[in-house]
Structure 1
Amino acid sequence: MGEAAADRHFLVLAMRGPDFDPAVIGPHRAFLERLREQGRLRLAGGFGDASGGAYLLRADDLDQARALAESDPLHVTGASRITVFEWNL
C-alpha cells in the first residue's frame, strides 16, 4: 500500500439481503481481520437493528476499494448488498 492510500478512505455499507445466511458471519469476520492485519481496515461494526453494517477501508483508489469489498464473503455469497463510497475525513 503506497503513501497516498494513507489519506484515502472508503466507507463500505453491507446491507443484508432477503437470503442472508448467518453462517457467513464467521468468514466475514475473518475477512475483516485479514484487512486489519494488512493495515487496510480502520473501523467496522454492525448496525443496531441488524440490517447490516459498515466498515472503513484504506485503499489507493475507488477501484481497489471496490475490489476489496467485492471479495468480502458477504458479497461473494450474495448474503448482503455491498456499496462503496469514497469518504473524505
Structure 2
Amino acid sequence: MSGLAGKKRYLVLAMRTARFSEEAIAPHLAFLDALRSEGKLEMTGGFSDGSGGAYVLSVGSLEEAQVLAGADPLATSDASVLTVYEWNTR
C-alpha cells in the first residue's frame, strides 16, 4: 500500500432509499471532491442499475471511515443508507 502508511481501505456502499432525490447528488459529489483533496478517497462510482454506488476510503480506522460516511450528504439527507466495510485488498 504505497503512500498509505498507517491507513487501511474501507468500502462504503451507498444504497438509495425511497427518499432519494437528485438534489442530493451535487452536495455528495462536492463531499467526495473534498475527501479526494484530503487524500482520503481512492475511487468512487455509481452502480449501472441506479440503485446506489460505492467509494473507497483510505483512512486510519473503521471508526474514522464510519464518521466520514456519516457526514456524507447522502446519509445526512436520508437519501441513501451508507454501510462501511473494512476491505482487505491485494
User: TM-score range, shorter-chain basis?
Assistant: over 0.9
User: Partner of 2:6: helix, strand, or coil?
Assistant: helix
**Secondary structure in 2 aligned to 1:88?**
coil
Structure 2 partner of 1:38: 38
2:6 corresponds to 1:4: yes
Secondary structure of the structure 2 residue equivalent to 1:84: strand
> Which 4+ stretches in 1 moved above 6 angstroms?
none
Describe the superposition over 1:32-73 as per-residue Cα deviations: whole angstroms up to 9, x where unpaired.
000000000000000000000000001110000000000000
- 3-state SS of paired residue (1:34): helix
RMSD: 1.0
Letter in 2 for 1:24: A
Provide the rounded CA distance (Å) in 2 between the counterparts of 1:47 and 1:16. Answer: 11
For structure 2, the 5+ residue unaligned runs are none
1:1-89 mapped onto 2 (5 Å cutoff): 3-5=5-7, 8-89=8-89
**Secondary structure of residue in 2 paired with 1:3:** coil
Q: How many residues align?
A: 86
TM-aligned CA deviation for residue 15 of structure 1 = 0.1
In structure 1, how many angstroms separate the alpha carbons of the residues matched to 2:5 and 2:12?
Answer: 21
More helix by share: 1
Q: CA deviation at 1:3?
A: 3.1
Unaligned runs of 5+ in 1: none
The TM-score with structure 1 as length reference comes to 0.94
Partners of 1:22 and 1:80 lie apart in 2 by 11
Q: Percent identity?
A: 48
Q: What is the DSSP-based 3-state SS (H/G/I as helix, E as strand, rest coil) of the residue aligned with 2:18?
A: coil
